[in-house]
A and B are shown apart, each in its own frame.
Chain A
């Protein structure tokens, strides 16, 4: 197992480096540049643009810029945001926390709702519970998250006025945990809904197969209680594809959802990324790439490890 993890870590590091190099190059090859974005159409003059570019070191050839960035990076310096006038790391850190809280909790919620729902539907196969649940899951899965989000806001914030519609904490600070949860609830439901639905459908299919398998029938036959058969034996067999699916989802949650962040004015990384592309804020974009890259690769690694732990046969494949 240790050798496997080390091998995967090395692969992940190489992937990350390639990713950073690609993003670095693509940003600089794109037309326009920070000087244009910073000056805007009317203050822009070639002289001012040249001055800004030399201040930012953008007048150097791309390989030289890359060398400087790597040098800085090895000294723990991640550069200065062109737009925010503060360290890129500080800019990203604030937003990253918001995304991690929302994404992490939404992931847990999707697991907690999706998997039991799927199991329940599979156990009551063909009965009304199964029909209602699986149809509901298809409807939720087909609902775009911006539509669901706006619908929830209109219902809970504009009409019932029981929940705040946007932001992640009351303005002015001093928020209690309860208050924070109030802000979290709607974006959490919106983000988790379609993922919970898709997990439920996935689990249902996997469980139906597992319940029909020989070893499950044997377990029933030898008189093991139904609850134990379902949650212990059948689910263990069904778990592998579900875990793979959940792992892919985890990466998606951690990238930050632009749609949900925009609808709920959640100050996360998705919004920051889009805004930084428009502003050509290279240092911020590189730090975002670095962190999102680490998280996605980490999520994949975690999925692989859990998969192997659940089913040691994977190793031999």
Chain B
């Protein structure tokens, strides 16, 4: 029939058309990401994890640079002085930094950025700037920031805030301005295009004040599904992505790709709600921890790409201490502890005390597949001990409300202390993260925040980790490594606990 023939002919023509080669770019790196940044302004939030921080790191420079070893180096601020009481910072800016529209970066822009981030009406995040009291412009290159109290995290966290241009944004509604989608920054790359749901394209700024970036174009592709990312890696359509441990075999069979494994300060724990009477007995806490086979979890769920932790810092953090008690898995010891605590096996095998069964529910976010696997394993491990663990998966939008409202027995999630190890808001007396309270821990938390001296803080953190582990404030589980897949010819990647893209401008890509 004529119709059929016509259709076949068009299909053939289409197929032939597809054999044309794709246009190649001089030097271009294509990243794939599951997540899409809601907008590109540096005022929205501090970048916390891949892939969020790619756009911000590329588009905006900040006053300081948080280094892999946890120290802080100059960036837009060439140098700074700190007053004796640690409350007043005077930053001197580099003379040659420019926004992408050619306007110099001045002290006015720093003041504008900090003020805007602090202003609730702009719907911005004031993360890292919570204690900023006053920002004064002394001259175009000098800005003075006064804090309400000594804040050792300020230089790293507040210093990481990307500086936005005052001359573009002054007088605008920052919550709705088109700037959020087409920002003008002072970073090593400028924005070429942002197509929501699809891609963000960046081009190198040739006259960048810290030296021109080596890779000319960065494409940040938004892909909705991990399987799509894997297929695109295999098809050579993207060259860089974040992997799950189970994805590794795919990459191993694809030529030209390699895996960069990156330890992180991220960790998982079991946060206990101290309103529940059973958690108030330390023996129960230790028994549960000894019943969870954390080594097996790291091997089976993370496929070995992680590590068991003893307290709230991981080896990737400068605050990490090795000198912390650990509680190796020991079901016999767990049984013994539960017996001592008065929990006796009931008729159905579940332990009972005063007529109450030893039963608790772990609340997880329903998007967290890793933790779901972890607690299915844990459920099976705790059952022979006479502990009935149940799993409840809730929507991410509901999770914070339940957590802060104390509507849970125990919860598990990832904690991500990125720029500074401080977690006082979760641990000090009166916290709304399960209500743990311990005067010794309170005193140590105060010590960790009482000085700018790194060595003294490190000591205080070591003591804090010991205290938390001794008291089993929470049941600390494990840390996971990030698995980045990159082209073999990509050079210059340097490990960083927060942001592996921190030195992206110095990366090179072999042809």
Q: Which residues of A line the B interface, CB within 8 A?
A: 31-34, 36-37, 39-41, 43-46, 51-52, 55, 80, 83-86, 91, 94-95, 112-113, 116, 150, 153-154, 157-158, 161-173, 178, 181-182, 185, 261-265, 267, 271-272, 278-280
Contacts and interface: CB of A to CB of B under 8 A. Distances in A.
Q: Across chains A and B, which 3 residue pairs bring their CB atoms closest together, nearest first?
A: A32-B397, A267-B197, A32-B398
A168 B197 CA distance: 11
B154 interface: no
Interface residues of B, number: 57
Given A166-B237, A167-B199, A80 B176 contact: yes
Nearest to B416: A42
Given A41-B399, A265-B222, A265-B223, 20 more contacts: A31-B401, A37-B397, A45-B404, A84-B196, A94-B195, A112-B7, A116-B1, A150-B231, A157-B237, A164-B237, A167-B198, A171-B30, A171-B198, A171-B199, A171-B221, A172-B192, A172-B193, A173-B193, A178-B20, A261-B224
B123 to A, nearest CB: 7
Contacts of A272: 197
A163 B228 contact: no
Contacts of A84: 38-39, 196
A94 B236 CA distance: 27
Interface string B216-256: 00010111110110011011110000000000000000000
B237 A55 contact: no
Nearest to A44: B400
A166 B195 CA distance: 15
A116 B8 CA distance: 13
Contacts of B14: 181, 185
Contact of B395 (A112, A172, A278): A278
A167 B201 CA distance: 14
Nearest to A83: B38
A167 B22 CA distance: 14
A173 B193 CA distance: 9
**Interface core residue of B7, B39, B123 (most chain A CB under 10 Å):** B123
A188 to B, nearest CB: 10
A158 B231 contact: yes
Contacts of A261: 224
Interface string B386-399: 00000000011111
Nearest to A185: B14
Contacts of B227: 150, 263
A91 B199 contact: no
B18 interface: yes
Interface in B470-501: none
B26 interface: no
Of B3, B7, B221, B234, most buried by chain A (CB within 10 Å of CB) is B234
Given A31-B398, A41-B400, A166-B228, A85 B175 contact: yes
A261 B224 CA distance: 9
20 contacts: A31-B395, A31-B401, A32-B401, A37-B397, A39-B400, A41-B403, A44-B401, A85-B123, A116-B1, A116-B4, A161-B235, A165-B237, A166-B231, A171-B199, A172-B199, A261-B224, A263-B228, A278-B367, A278-B396, A279-B397
